[in-house]
Amino acid sequence: MSLTRLPILLPALALALAAGPALASSCAEEIATLEKRLDSAGAAQVTGKAPPGGAPAAHSDKALAQAPGTKPSDPATKPSAGGVTEARTLLAKAKDEEKAGKAEACRDTVLKAKEKAGALP
């Protein structure tokens, strides 16, 4: 490698190394995102139970007062109360795996939990 390429390669390498962690989503973030879905009005509609902490705050610009009345485009992803319960159990397992530093196992468990939860309204 010639020294003339070094000034170009060093900044590119530094940029790639700096962007790597930012592009990857940690398992803890995935767990938090799925927990929000499982605590949503849509999950409450499927399970027949109010989300922990009650209904979403009316003043929140991101909260829906009720779940949309649409159906999933893929019928295989239809949510069920049992699926939501299984997803919560899998999330507890994922949290333990995350604490133990088992990132790959954690992501696999979160993926399974998402599949169990289905397409919540």
Query: Residue 93's pLDDT is what?
Result: 97
19-23, 69-73, 88-92: range with lowest mean pLDDT: 19-23
Asked if 108 and 56 count as a contact pair (C-beta separation under 8 A), the reply is no
Question: Predicted confidence band at 23 (pLDDT cuts at 50, 70, 90)?
Answer: very low
Half-sphere exposure for 18 (CA within 13 Å, toward CB): 6
Q: If DSSP codes are grouped into helix, strand and coil, which group holds residue 54?
A: coil
Rounded alpha-carbon distances, angstroms, from residue 22 to 10, 15, 103, 108, 113: 19, 11, 16, 20, 24
Query: Residue 110's pLDDT is what?
Result: 96
